[in-house]
Amino acid sequence: MEDSFQHAHGFLQTVVLLTLFLPLISFALSIIISYRYAWIVSISAPLFLLASAVCATIALFSQWNAPDVLMKFNWFTLGKDVFSADLLISNLVLLMLFVVALISFLVHLYSVGYMAGDKNIKRYFAMLGFFTFSMQGIVLSDSLLVLFVFWELVGFSSYLLIGHYSESINAGRASKKAFILNRIGDIGFLVCLMLVWSNQHSFNIIEIVGGEPSEWKTYASLCLFFGVVGKSAQFPLFTWLPDAMEGPTPVSALMHAATMVAAGVYLVIKVFPFFTPVTLEVITIIGLVTALIGGFSALAQFDIKKILAYSTISQLGLMLIGAGASMPEAALLHLLTHAFFKACLFLGAGAVIHSLHQAQRQAHAHFDAQDIRCMGGLSKKLRWTFATFVVSGASLAGIPFFSGFLSKEALLTSVWMQQGYFSAIVFLGFAIVSVLTVLYTYRLVYFVFLGESRMVKELPVTEIPLIMRIPLTILAVGSFWFVVSWSPFDFSGWLFEYSKTRAPIELTIGSSVIILVTLFFSTKIYRSGVAHTSDVLRNGFYVDSFYNKVSLYALTPIYRATLFLDRKVIDGGIHFSVYAQVTFAHVVAWVDRQIVDGLVHLVAGVASGIGSLIRSFQGGKIQHYVYWAVFAIIIFLICVLK
């Protein structure tokens, strides 16, 4: 087994280890420095991360398409069993290593501007460094046990970062929720570890992925996938991600869009041969359900970050569909492109919020700086941000000539090539999600940057500082098609050449047409929507009136059919479909709130119920203690004696 792997030579080992440990050094330095010199951290941390990113780049170019390398480290020995902490270096790992290092560096850079003046900046950069270290640990480690350790560390640093604004009650609640839901998923991971160990007596991925599918593998991989569900915010454990938006925006960009939530998908790709057909079907179903829920929910949100959060959930679901359709390469491709454009979108959103906050402070105005209903027309004031936002948004929407188009193409191809009714349904669902993506992306862009200025009209909004613009620009450039391949319509470019799959020409044309048509209609919907409700805008009740108007149309179709036989029919049809979608989105949100959250409450309630039942025996009277104990013995005896 081991002979097929080349052993690491000194140079590669040094570079990879540097990539891994430089963020940890940054963390240590940020901890050590005293509060008085906290400003040093905001210089040193990005520098360390830059070094780490450079190392990752060197590793990527020196080892790209070379045979896989295994770096062996023995952790400890228990009797005969050797627990190793091996690091595996393959194309997949190198690519991910590079993406994490680069985006983490850019987020660090951005944070220097965004977090300037925060009193806990030391802790912030420390945890950011620590998070990057743990994430790179997940990327590199070849042992499931070590991977689990880093998995937990990632969850822990996320817990601390979500709760960064410690004065906010919501932040505390959100961080707790994220942590607990992740832990629930981790039970699955733990059980998988036990199953793997008892069946294979090894935790090394390269040793366990081989072999025929068997029953225990189905169970183990289902358990593992349950862990992924927790970390990658899939149905039914996705509710923590929208709440996690209470954290600082750069954190959301790094963790809750580009890297941490992608760790689950990455794990699926990494141990892909381990999954059995049954598990793959489950993965597809869960991915599809999540993608639909996320897409619909994104339509009904008004918080700029929550829209992006639900969009992330939806995109992660799409990645899992690709993995479930036996094409992990497609999932990886989407993971990479998504990392770039979603990070860019989040940082752009952060830029909007940041400049609005600044402006509010100057003008002493008070409104929710994250509510898109308050914005509008910002494109003239924040030109640079607008440009990057549109580029990355176009990539998210999957418009041709952008990277998102290509990666979605790859995912679609993977579903297309499957046979049977099941995959037809999946394909249909995928198409719906793609349409939804265009809709909510356009809605977001329109509400924030286009249209007329609402609350921000009078505000002296100014462009963000240069240090924040640099990361935005780099990420926006990374959202174009040439990141994936040289041809804007063929995803089998330089990143994807190890796969011989190509998209059918009809698929490419069909999807481009659908997306462009949807884009066209969405410009119609929102433009007309705003026109219809321009009188209501003053009251700030845009949605309610919009619903009223549309439902009036929907409830009197005959009246409308006789009266508007011209193009208003089309208009009405679109309105109707929008109405249905919005209703559905609300139903989904309700299910999310009542059923999933209710489930968490139910579990907590049952636990405290059992607790108080048991504690009722503990009434403080010693003689009661004695007789309860004696009764317990008697009951035990009667049970055993029969």
Partner 1 sequence: MIEALPLHILSAFLFATGLAIVIIKRNAIVVLMGIELMLNASNVNLIVFNRMHPSTFDGQMFALFVIIVAVCETAVGLAIILRVYRFYKTSVPDHIQELKG
Partner 2 sequence: MNLQEALHIIEKSLSYLYPELILTGGILVLITISLFKRISSIVFSVVSISICLATISLLVEEGLLRASLFSGIIVKESFSTYLKILANIGSLVTCVMTLSSNNQRMKSAEFYALLLTIVLGGHFLVMSNNLLMVFISMEIISISSYVLAGHANTKEASEGSLKYFLFGSVASAIMLYGFSLLYGVTGTLDFATEGFVKGITEYNSPILLIAGFMALAGFLFKVGAAPMHPWAPDVYQGASVPVVAFLSVVPKLAGIGILIKFILVISAYGQSKYDWQAIISVVAILTLTVGNFSALAQRNLKRMMAYSSIAQTGFLLVGIAAYLPEGIQFMLFYATVYVAMNFIVFISLQFFEQRNIWNTEHFAGTGRLLLWPSISMLIGLIALTGLPPTAGFTGKLFIFSSLWEAYHLSEKNILLWLFVFGLLNTVVSLFYYLKIPYYAFLKEGQSVEKGNFNLWENLLSLILVLVVLGLFFAPGLLMCWINSVNFVL
Partner 3 sequence: MSSYSIILYGFILIALISAIGILAVNNVFKAALFLLTCLLSLAAIYVLCLAEFVAVTQILVYAGGVVVVIIFGIMLTTKLTGKPLEVKNGNLFPGLLAALAFASMLVKYQSMMATSTAELSTMSENLVSKTGVELMTNYVLPFELAGLLLLMALIGAAVTTRSTPE
**Chain positions contacting partner 2, by CB under 8 A:** 76-79, 148-149, 152-153, 156, 163, 166-167, 171-172, 175-176, 179-180, 183-184, 187, 190-191, 194, 197-198, 604, 607-608, 610-612, 614-615, 617-618, 620, 622-623, 625-626, 628-630, 632-633, 636-637, 640-641
Nearer to partner 2, 156 or 482 (CB): 156
**Is 261 in contact with 287 (CB distance < 8 Å)?**
no
CB of 611 to partner 1, least distance (A): 11
Residue 535 backbone phi and psi in degrees, to 5:
-70, -30
The structure tokens listed for 155 are 């969850």
**Residue 13, amino acid:** Q
CB of 632 to partner 3, least distance (A): 11
Asked if 631 interacts with partner 3 (CB under 8 A), we say: yes
Cα separation of 634 and 567, whole Å?
Answer: 83
Residues 602-621 touching partner 1, rule: CB under 8 A, are 615, 618-621
Nearest to 311, CA basis, from 436, 432, 425, 427: 436
CB of 163 to partner 2, least distance (A): 5
Residue 204 backbone phi and psi in degrees, to 5:
-80, 130
Cα separation of 230 and 236, whole Å?
Answer: 8
CB of 153 to partner 2, least distance (A): 7
The structure tokens listed for 465 are 């500082």
Cα separation of 129 and 125, whole Å?
Answer: 6
Residue with the two structure tokens 């048509």: 517
Asked if 632 interacts with partner 3 (CB under 8 A), we say: no
Nearer to partner 2, 179 or 491 (CB): 179
Q: ω into residue 400 within 30 of 0, thus cis?
A: no
Nearer to partner 3, 568 or 624 (CB): 624
Nearer to partner 2, 159 or 266 (CB): 159
Contact pick of 466, 555, 637, 639 for partner 3 (by CB under 8 A): 637
CB of 612 to partner 1, least distance (A): 10
Nearer to partner 1, 603 or 630 (CB): 630
**Contact letters (x/-) for partner 3, 610-629, by CB under 8 A?**
-------------xx--x--
Nearer to partner 1, 520 or 625 (CB): 625
152-160 — which CB contacts under 8 Å span 24+ positions? 152/186, 154/231, 154/260, 154/263, 155/179, 155/182, 155/183, 155/186, 155/231, 157/127, 157/130, 157/131, 158/131, 158/182, 158/244, 158/255, 158/260, 160/123, 160/127
166 binds, among partner 3, partner 2, partner 1, none (CB under 5 to 8 A by kind): partner 2
Nearer to partner 2, 40 or 153 (CB): 153
Nearer to partner 2, 170 or 548 (CB): 170
CB of 601 to partner 1, least distance (A): 23
The structure tokens listed for 438 are 């265009």
DSSP 3-state of 495: coil
Binding interface with partner 1 (CB under 8 A): 615, 618-623, 626-627, 630
Binding interface with partner 3 (CB under 8 A): 623-624, 627, 630-631, 634, 637
